Amino acid sequence: MFSWKSVCCLASALIAATTPALAESVAINNGSQFADTAGNAIQAHGAGIIKVDDTYYLFGENRTGYLFKAVSMYRSTDLKTWTFASDVLTAASATSLNTSNIERPKIIYNAATKKYVLWAHKENGTNYNEARVVVATSDTVDGNYVYQSEFRPLDNESRDMTLFLDDDGTGYLISAAKNNYDLNIYKLNDSFTGIDSLVKVLAGNHREAPAVFKRDGVYFLITSAATGWNPNQAAYQTATSMAGPWTAPTTFGDPRTYNSQSTWVQPLTGAGTGPCRTAAPWARCLSSARAYRPQGGHRCRCLGDGAQRQGARRTRRQPAPEAACQPDLPLRHLGGLGGARSC
């Protein structure tokens, strides 16, 4: 099942990409179970988002127990109200998917071939030793994705992964290798269905759950430590080229990343303003249990109460009047687990 804790806040922050314009705000309950317009629980674990024209398409894992059932897709124009679109890839799409685990599906569009290309982490449904990617394509964003292949990128393990489409049209795969001790960055081939080259190995950091975005010519890579099912503090790295050099991981946010893990970062254009801002652009957040606004220099003033879960007990704490912030990270929304606010 899908909750916004999986996609918003640090897990999949939505960053405004243009000068803010006034718009009607939308309040979304952070950390809550989301239902589609038919009242069914949204099934989109490890989710990604792709925007086509004025519509956002949310997609992720739909499981029967632990085994893969489908990559389910939903559509929305406001990022709050989601309508089921279709199961774009299913266990019946290929023999090797009949009994399998499919995790963290991601979709990017290839303008040259006019194809939507889906990549995902694939295991055999029995153990976690396969460490492959699976690739499928479709002529339409919410159509049936046709299985193309599965493989280890350049014979390397590939587990937690994401895709990134650069503004020059280059596609990249970022995936965890060597039992999550390395993160490999690959350039995709011209059709986005295979690997062109390995451009960078971020070795020895023991990171997973990659999510990439670009701001003013700087690439940001958000990751999680590899601690199994136990939440940990997120970290980010920056570079001016996907080939590096990359900075060392710098932690940010709550020590448990508000019981979430990074999955995707979705740019917003023409979005309404929110209470979260960096030194230059504004950030539009999906809920704001805690947010910071720069107050000169590198100090921030807390605009809202925080909410924190400790085991099964939920507590609230009054924020300090001021809190230090990281000025070089263009993401000032550090959302808690509850307390929806308009953004």
Q: State the CATH number of the domain containing residue 265.
A: 2.115.10.20
Whether 14 maps to a domain, the answer reads no
Check residue 120 and give its pLDDT.
98
Q: Pick from 249, 59, 45: which is nearest to 145 by CA?
A: 59
pLDDT at residue number 20: 37
Give the model's pLDDT for residue 338: 25
Query: For residues 2 and 113, what is the distance between their CA atoms, to the nearest angstrom?
Result: 32
pLDDT in tens, 265-294: 988 765 443 322 221 122 232 222 222 222
Please give the pLDDT value at position 70. Answer: 98
The number of domains in the chain is 1
Establish if 310 belongs to a structural domain.
Answer: no
Q: Would residue 1 count as lying in a domain?
A: no
What pLDDT, on a 0 to 100 scale, did the predictor assign at position 77?
94
Q: What is the pLDDT of residue 271?
A: 47
- What pLDDT, on the 0 to 100 scale, is given for residue 10? 32
Partners of 176 in beta bridges: 183
User: Does residue 296 form part of some domain?
Assistant: no
Q: Per the domain annotation, does 339 fall within a domain?
A: no
Q: What is the pLDDT of residue 296?
A: 30
pLDDT value of residue 2: 53
Which stretches of the chain drop beneath a pLDDT of 50? Answer: 3-23, 271-343
Is 83 inside a domain boundary? yes
243 part of a folded domain: yes
Torsion angle of alpha carbons 131, 137, 141, 143, nearest 10°? Answer: -110
- The answer to whether residue 86 sits within a structural domain is yes
Give residue 267's pLDDT: 84
Q: Which domain holds residue 130?
A: 34-270
